[in-house]
Amino acid sequence: MAKDVNLKWEWPADREPALKYVVKVSSITKADGGWFGLKRSPSIVEGVPKPVNLSGHIIHGDQMTSGQSVTLTLPELELVNISQGDIVALGMVKKDTCICLKKMSAPDEDLSDWHCSSD
């Protein structure tokens, strides 16, 4: 059975994705802020403002990731018109670091011209 993978969020900062994953969204939930909300603190490097967890399964990825369950913690403001059951593309700079996402019209939509800066 495939292992669940936790993905990190970073803003693009003029970077483009090295990998693109296509994910079917199974749930979107409010992220746990930890004891006293410490994980949401702006002074914590991995702190994300108004964090939510987007969970789903990778439909298309590389040979090692296809079929895996993933959870991405990201700022709520990045979830533009995305909800449970949608298909999204995740722009990845590393296998565990997402820098952008977009709602897709179909799982086989051509992503060759999609860049983080063109959202």
Is residue 25 in some structural domain?
Answer: yes
- Residue 111 included in any domain: no
CA 51 to chain centre: 12
Torsion angle, alpha carbons of 66, 110, 81, 13, to 10: 80
Residue 113 lies in a domain: no
Residue 44's pLDDT band, with cuts at 50, 70 and 90, is very low
Would you say residue 50 lies in a domain? yes
Q: How many structural domains comprise the chain?
A: 1
Whether 89 maps to a domain, the answer reads yes
CA 60 to chain centre: 14
**Cβ-based neighbours of 101, under 8 Å, separated by 6 or more:** 54, 72, 74, 78, 82, 88, 89, 90, 91
Is there a domain that residue 30 lies in? yes
Domain presence at residue 78: yes
Q: 63 vs 14, 21, 54, 60, 102, CA distance in Å?
A: 27, 11, 22, 9, 22
In a domain, residue 118? The reply is no
Q: Is pLDDT of 94 > 60?
A: yes
What is the model's pLDDT at position 43? 45
Write out the residue range of the structural domain in which residue 77 sits: 5-106
Q: For 1-5, 31-35, 41-45, 83-87, which range has the lowest pLDDT when averaged over its residues?
A: 41-45
pTM of this prediction exceeds 0.85: no
